Structure 1
Amino acid sequence: MKQVFRIISLSFVLIFSVSATASDKIAVVNISDIFQQLPELVVVTHKLEKEFKDRTIALQNMEHDLQTKIQNMQRNRSTMKASDQLQMEKDIIKKREEFNTTVRVFDQDTRRRQIEERDKIIYKIQNAVQKVSTLKGYDLVLDRGAVAYVSSVRDITADVLKQVK
């Protein structure tokens, strides 16, 4: 009976000592903070704005033309022939469909480019996390958003931010 008790006690001691050692090799990093603090984010935002500027202006012009046609039709409806009115309505419907299609394609293109640029930045952050965790000897690094609590001693966000910049 004493041997069973000793074996169980020894097992608990080993389990707790292993878990205590393992906890020394776990850290957290706040990826979203790093992402928001990168000066590269502003550069990418301006780059995308510049890339899509011409298309944005074209969409604004299309929208303005469509609104002008609608206003003209509403203003002149009472003095127009029925055939002219019907033709104008068809033209407005056609222009609205073209506009909606163009907007949809524009949204898809901008979303795709934003995702591409975001992925480049995240890849850079992940490489920095790997370097810092290797240098500091961490086996596991978790995103701060996925952890309920961790002491600030185990937070390597500042080190990763230095590495990324």
Structure 2
Amino acid sequence: MKKWLYIVSIMLVITTASPVWSIDRIAVVNITNIFQQSPQRATVAKELEEEFKDRVTELQCMERDLQSKTQKLQNTGNDMNPQERKELEQSLMIQREKFSSKIQSFEQDNHRRQTEERHKILSQIHEIVRNIAHQEEYDIVIDISALAYFNPSKDITNSVLAQVVK
């Protein structure tokens, strides 16, 4: 009976102690820092700027035209005959609605594309993190933003960043 209790006690100690042994197999990484320093981020920003350049130019022209017509209405509106003034006001209203619609569409498309590209970059970063965790035999990798404290010796951010920059 004593042997049986001894064996059960040892088994209990081993099963409860194993999580303590695996604490050394946890690493931390600063995904935000890696994303900010990623050369792909700057490249994507330039590509998106080029992709939306024509639409931005069109919206700027529309805005200038609206401003000039509004200024004209304010400056000469009292001197116009009522019919001309009414036509100009209606034209401005229609143009504002069209402008507002185009801006909304532009913002949605721009946001969607930025999200797509951000997701691609983050997917690459996460893949690199998984590879490094596998190579260095980490069981868990946690983003620094989720921690109150960590041991800097467990930080693999520089290793990941070195591979992202390649």
TM-score for the superposition, normalised by structure 1: 0.91
What does residue 31 of structure 2 align with?
A: 31
- State the aligned residue count: 163
What does residue 113 of structure 1 align with?
A: 113
CA distance in 2 between partners of 1:68 and 1:31 (Å): 47
CA RMSD, Structure 1 to Structure 2 (Å): 1.9
Structure 2: gaps of 5 or more residues: none
Counterpart secondary structure, 1:107: helix
For residues 111-143 of structure 1, the C-alpha deviation after alignment (integer angstroms, 9 at most, x for no partner) is: 011011101100100110011000100011111
Counterpart secondary structure, 1:79: coil
Deviant stretches of 4+, over 6 Å: 5-9
Residue identity over aligned pairs, in percent, reads 40
CA distance in 1 between partners of 2:9 and 2:70 (Å): 84
Counterpart secondary structure, 2:138: coil
Between 1:6-15 and 1:28-37, the stretch displaced more is 6-15
CA distance in 1 between partners of 2:105 and 2:79 (Å): 38
Counterpart secondary structure, 1:24: helix
Counterpart secondary structure, 1:28: strand
What does residue 140 of structure 1 align with?
A: 140
CA distance in 2 between partners of 1:70 and 1:99 (Å): 14
What does residue 158 of structure 1 align with?
A: 158
Shift of 1:15: 5.4
Asked if residue 75 in structure 1 is aligned to residue 75 in structure 2, the reply is: yes
CA distance in 2 between partners of 1:11 and 1:74 (Å): 88
CA distance in 1 between partners of 2:70 and 2:6 (Å): 89
CA distance in 2 between partners of 1:91 and 1:149 (Å): 61
CA distance in 1 between partners of 2:7 and 2:22 (Å): 22
TM-score for the superposition, normalised by structure 2: 0.90
Shift of 1:9: 7.0
Shift of 1:13: 4.0
What does residue 19 of structure 1 align with?
A: 19
